[in-house]
Amino acid sequence: MKISPEIRNMVPYKPGKPISETQREYGLKTVYKLASNENPLGPSPKALAAVQNALQHQQLYPDASQYELLHTISKVWNFPVEQLALGNGSDELIDLLTRIFCEPGEGVLTSQAGFAAYKVSAQANRATIYEVPHTKDFGFDLNAIADFYEKNAAKIRIIFVANPNNPTGTYANQTEVESFLERVGNKEDVVVIFDEAYNEFVRAKDYVSAQKYLSKYKNLIVLRTFSKIYGLAGFRVGAMIAPKEVIEVYNRVRKPFNVNDLAQVAANAALQDEEFIQRSQQICWKALDYFYKKLEELGLPYIPSQGNFVMFDTLRDAAKVNEALLRRGIIMRPLLNYGFKTHLRLSVGLEHENEAAFKALAEVLKEVPPL
């Protein structure tokens, strides 16, 4: 069988190691997964109750129009329904937008430190990925990305900006975002996609959501997710805010039942549970401060994070550190696929999980020698 070289040569996205696999592989009973930036509280209780009530109707297909959820999003986020669309996680949105806007061989532009799904989707859709080096503090270099675009505008069709970014936790501030959009906004031949999956965790006072600029720039799209602060990663729901013309085209391409009924019900309830959202934020921010304190005690450099995770430098071969942590029942995220050979990413967990992670890390640092 003939397979296109783009597909044959692509490196698939590798998700975080599951708890069950780690238990089997290492013969462990207790395993803490702090690798995938999931909400340690689980889903909102209101979401679980809504799902329970909806179970009796699962012989029916989902609402293909996604009416209830879209209207709730419209009310809470203050955008008209005509500017909203849903995906099977933001991953589907990224993939379908790449399919919509890129002909084979055309370009997708992002940062070297950007979310790995951008590259996977580009390759899967036979587009060419261009990655600009990150800043010295591991952030998106928006000036360099704009420079690259202006020199290569004929072949760039999508620019992806993760703000805040995963896996680094860095962000672009309001001044940087506005300057960037002044250079690449309202161009006819390129769409600018801000991926704001971690928007709700930001504490930086000079952060601004790109949602603020949607009325000014007609080639701007903003992505959000229900996987993080809403605790619904297993349900797979992503949301897009975009110009009406983009939404109309996207709805032609997406599958009619791309977001299942239980996912729609759960997201609709979670979106309205403000108490749960605030509690999730407080747990995240308290844990991050604890992470910083412990990492400083261990002498390990880290990047202050605007997400629900922190990326830190082990000063060692991260693969060996990760393996030693797995033997102790702690799952973190190695970042070799981003070119970070000594770094790990640690997600926020519950207090006892965070404490167990640093107890294990302290032991491992004595076991694995520095480079």
Domain map (residue ranges) of the chain: 5-42+275-367, 57-272
| Separation of alpha carbons 98 and 117, rounded Å | 11
pLDDT digits (tens, 9 = 90+) for 68-82: 999 999 999 999 999
Q: Do domains 5-42+275-367 and 57-272 have the same CATH topology?
A: no
Inter-residue long-range contacts of 251-254, CB under 8 Å, 24+ positions, other chains counted:
251/85, 253/96, 253/99, 253/100, 254/85, 254/87, 254/92, 254/96
CA 319 centroid distance within chain: 23
Q: Is the pLDDT of residue 14 over 70?
A: no
Q: Which of 311, 370, 303, 361 is nearest to 336 (CA)?
A: 311
The mean per-residue pLDDT over the stretch 131-145 comes to 95
Per-residue pLDDT, 3: 74
Tell me whether strands 330-331 and 333-335 are parallel, antiparallel or unpaired: unpaired
Angle ∠(181,253,224) on CA atoms, nearest 5: 45
The pTM (predicted TM-score) of the whole model is 0.94
Token code pair at residue 180: 């960037």
Q: Domain 5-42+275-367's class? A: alpha beta
| pLDDT score for 46 | 97
Asked whether the beta carbons of 201 and 277 are under 8 A apart, the reply is: no
3 state DSSP class of 158: strand
Average pLDDT over residues 102-118: 94
Torsion angles phi and psi, residue 156, rounded to 5: -100, 125
For the chain, list the strands marked E by DSSP: 32-33, 84-87, 107-111, 128-132, 156-162, 191-195, 220-225, 238-241, 302-303, 309-313, 330-331, 333-335, 340-347
Q: Are 17 and 327 in contact (CB under 8 A)?
A: no
Average pLDDT on 299-311 reads 98
Give the pLDDT confidence score for residue 13 in this predicted structure. 67
Cα dihedral 176/177/182/185 (nearest 10): 150
Q: To the nearest whole number, what is the mean pLDDT of the chain? A: 95
Strands 333-335 and 84-87: unpaired
pLDDT for the residue 326: 97
Given pLDDT bands bounded at 50, 70 and 90, which one contains residue 18? confident
pLDDT at 8: 73
CATH fold for the domain made of 57-272: Aspartate Aminotransferase; domain 2 (3.40.640)
Residue 330's nearest CA partner among 38, 64, 10, 22 is 22
CB neighbours of residue 348 within 10 Å: 26
Q: Per-residue pLDDT tens for 236-281?
A: 999 999 999 999 999 999 999 999 999 999 999 999 999 999 999 9
CA distance 217 to 290: 40
pLDDT over 70 (residue 187): yes
Q: What is the pLDDT of residues 123-132, one digit of tens each?
A: 999 999 999 9
Contact 329, 28 (CB under 8 A): yes
